[in-house]
Amino acid sequence: MRKIVSEKIIKPEKEWKKELTPEQYRVARLKGTEKAFTGEYWDNHEKGIYRCACCGSELFSSDSKYDSGTGWPSFFVSLSERNIRKETDTSESRERVEILCDRCDAHLGHLFNDGPEPTGLRYCVNSASLKFTKSD
């Protein structure tokens, strides 16, 4: 059974800047995007759990990770829908579904309806928004 974290984490931006790398801050706190095929986890094949880089919430399992060919870590299901919040994003002159960590509001990436079965979903996530914990 996975841990569901619900207490909200709110910090001043200067604290986030101290705790995160510049790239993590740009992506997770300023809603940036890393370049395709450059992130640490896009080609990771180890078993484990992907957590929020900002607060440690468990977001995805390696069991749901797949190669979408996009150059970003892609998952067909999250560990818990309670740990991920979805919002409408119209920032690039089109409507997309942004995914955020529900606990700390970190920008994770976007959700698309072009993934594999059984869900048909593709959680397209920036590596900079994640920390990977390898399973034994």
What are φ and ψ of residue 110, in 5° steps?
-140, 160
Q: Is the pLDDT of residue 2 over 90?
A: no
Task: Return the CATH class of domain 36-134.
Answer: mainly beta
Domain boundaries, the chain: 36-134
Burial grade of 85 (CB within 10 A; 0-12, 13-18, 19 or more): middle
Q: List pLDDT tens digits, range 17-67.
A: 999 999 999 999 999 999 999 999 999 999 999 999 999 999 999 999 999
Q: HSE on the CB side for 75, CA within 13 Å? A: 25
Question: Catalytic: which of 52, 55, 104, 124?
Answer: 124
Q: Is there a catalytic annotation at residue 124?
A: yes
The whole-model pTM stands at 0.92
Helix, strand, coil share of the chain (percent; to 5): 20, 30, 55
Q: Are strands 74-75 and 122-125 parallel, antiparallel or unpaired?
A: antiparallel
Residue 89 has a CB neighbour count (10 Å cut-off) of 17
If you average pLDDT over residues 56-80, what whole number do you get?
96
Closest CA relative to residue 89, chosen from 109, 68, 106, 75 = 109
Q: List pLDDT tens digits, range 81-108.
A: 899 999 988 887 788 999 999 999 999 9
Where do the H-state alpha helices sit in 5-133? 13-19, 22-24
Rounded Cα gap, residues 20 and 119, in angstroms? 32
